[in-house]
Amino acid sequence: MVSPLIVVIAITYFAYWILEFLLARPKNFPPGPIRIPIFGSYLYLLLRDVKHFYVETQRWCDKYNSKVVALFIGSYNAVSVNDLEGIRRVFLCNDFDGRPFPYSVQLRSWAKRLGVFFTEGPFWLEQRRFTLRYMRDFGFGRRMERLEYIIEDETKLMIKLIEEGTKNPYNAGLVKDGRLIYLPEFFAAPFINSYLAVLTGHPLPEESRPILRKTTQSSILFQLAADATGGIISILPSLRYIFPKLSGYHGITKGHEALMDLMRDIIKQRKNRGFTETEGFIDFYLNEMKARKEAGGYTTFSDDQLLLIVADLLMPASSAVQSQLGMLVERLIHNPEIQDKIYNEIKTVVGSGRLPTLDDRPNLPYCEATLRESLRIDTLATLGVPHSTLVDTTLHGYSIPKDTIVITNLWQMHHDEKVWGDPETFRPERFVTEDGKGLAKDQSLPFGLGRRVCAGETFARNTMFLIYTGLLQNYKLTVPEGHPLPDLNDRLNGLVISPKDFWVKCIPRK
């Protein structure tokens, strides 16, 4: 029979261990909630609202009176930084240039660090440098006349679809007679096709729209199943066998595999055509990979790496950017007077005989300011892409150990009253100078900053500007008769936020 003394000692030891686990944290670590065995702080999110992580962490900042709060995602140390100064330090200091590698990320890269989003160190530096260098040549990071023509053609096709309605079967469900369009999916094809033109030199023909729609739907499936913390599946990977949908496993794997299938087919086509002419980024990469393999020795270039690079960048091009434009349209429907200001500026500067171009952009400050205000108030990637510390470092006077996950709460920073005054008001004028002729200082960081800035920022900003101004030049947007105004607070949340699907009526301006 076990001695009662031994039982008391065992219970006391176990209680002490639990208490130490709950309260223990690295020396001078930021304040935050206690951690729970297995889950860490993530259990609080599950019990409250895991999809609104960006709101919950601000509550913790208010509770602990701190600009940065400690989290524990499973067994990992993590912090969330919520203010402009702290977020800028994370983006600009090399100490924070690492990337976490949770199970949810491993699922999409065969448990290898590949691509550009979730790699780090010399491998990431070499691959990112090459990727940006040669994608720029095709308009991804700088202006390129040929890509602008492609975007112009996509905008004209978009207007043609609005006018023709359901004439073509492959547009069924996207447009209806009476100039009705289904958002945000209606915007997807122009962005994907423009991105494919960067990769291959050529957009897909109009009859390929079903492929682009499938890609968009798959990308959205992935985005909604994942989140910036890695999710419950990264804490308990075995849940994928018990709750494949609830854990996010189904959405992550099915959604990402569809994107990979499209990219595999495109890369295969480029390989089969040989290397007679370099027409896009994929050709440059294949040529470089071939040359390095022939030279012998170690190389970071591989088929899998190419596949993950193009898939990394396809994800925002196929779902995120169209979601941003969808939310912009929601704001414009709620604020028709802003639509009129946009139209009047375009009418004065551009007229009606041609579409707006990037040459017009400096003379369309209100149009640009409206896009910037949309990127601020409806922060697409609410928590950005998580960083991790490469060394022991500091943040707001706190000690942040090496390998700590660092989450940048961009949504909160973009809604900080100290920075924006009236952050909940959709007011493009905040980005315009007092005389209305130029752009004021922009403190928003929707694409990040520094070496980890989103590689597709220039491409996304340029393409969104051209497509949305082309649409507003020709139409006034409203809801169809009998439809309620979109609910601006009813968003789909995941890796990015997105509006729920809704119909929009396009009323011709002429």
Binding residues for heme: 454
- β-pair partners for 476: 507
Angle made by CA atoms 181, 332, 56, in degrees to the nearest 5? 105
Residue whose token pair is 């601006």: 488
Give the C-alpha separation, 270 to 258, whole Å. 19
H/E segment holding residue 503: strand 502-508
Q: What residues contact 99, with CB distance under 8 A and at least 6 apart?
A: 117, 118, 119, 120, 124, 385, 386, 387, 388
Calculate the CA 49 to chain-centre distance: 20
SS3 400: strand
Amino acid, res. 18 = I
Q: Can you tell me which residue has the tokens 């007092």?
A: 434
- The total of other beta-carbon atoms located within 10 Å of residue 391's CB is 13
Angle, alpha carbons 207-212-215 (nearest 5°): 150
Cα gap 106→12, rounded to integer Å:
40
Tokens encoding 370: 């409206």
> In sequence order, which residues have a C-beta less than 8 Å from that of residue 47 and are 6 or more positions away?
none
User: Tokens 């890796």 — which residue?
Assistant: 495
Binding residues: 454
Asked if 248 contacts 240 with a C-beta cutoff of 8 angstroms, the reply is no
What's the token pair of residue 308? 């993950």
